[in-house]
Amino acid sequence: MLRALLCTCALGLPLTAAAFTGTDLVKLCNRSDVPSKSACQAYIEGAADGAYNTIEAIGGTTGPLVGQYFCLPAGTTPDEMTNAVRHWANHNGDKLEYNASTVVALGLGATYACRASN
């Protein structure tokens, strides 16, 4: 009986899982406890790293490329990245239904836009 219950739960879980949205990220980042703040920063760093690696896989990150939303300067800290995303989210509440990783890319792009090389 326990095995049947576990199988039912395991099979039902993917059907009820929802995407992590910008609204979810903002709620996480607005919490004041240390684990939530750490999770917020870790998500933003991971999403930024994932975007960087995707761009690298399709041709490099040495300048403004099609699809490259942001260019982080060397030495950008996790706190600076988090503040950039939070600032963008506070001014773009109508876009928080987007996937959280999209919100990260748009938020970082608003602060760390790529500059054309001369």
How is residue 18 annotated by DSSP? -
| Concatenated DSSP letters of 49-102 | HHHHHHHHHTT-SSS--TT----PPTT--HHHHHHHHHHHHHH-GGGTTSBHHH
- Residue pLDDT tens, the chain, 118 long: 545 433 444 444 444 456 899 999 999 999 999 999 999 999 999 999 888 777 666 665 554 445 567 888 999 999 999 999 999 999 999 999 999 999 999 999 999 988 765 4
Whether 25 maps to a domain, the answer reads yes
Residue 116 belongs to a domain: no
- Domain span at 88: 19-111
CATH at residue 51? 1.10.890.40
In a domain, 2, yes or no: no
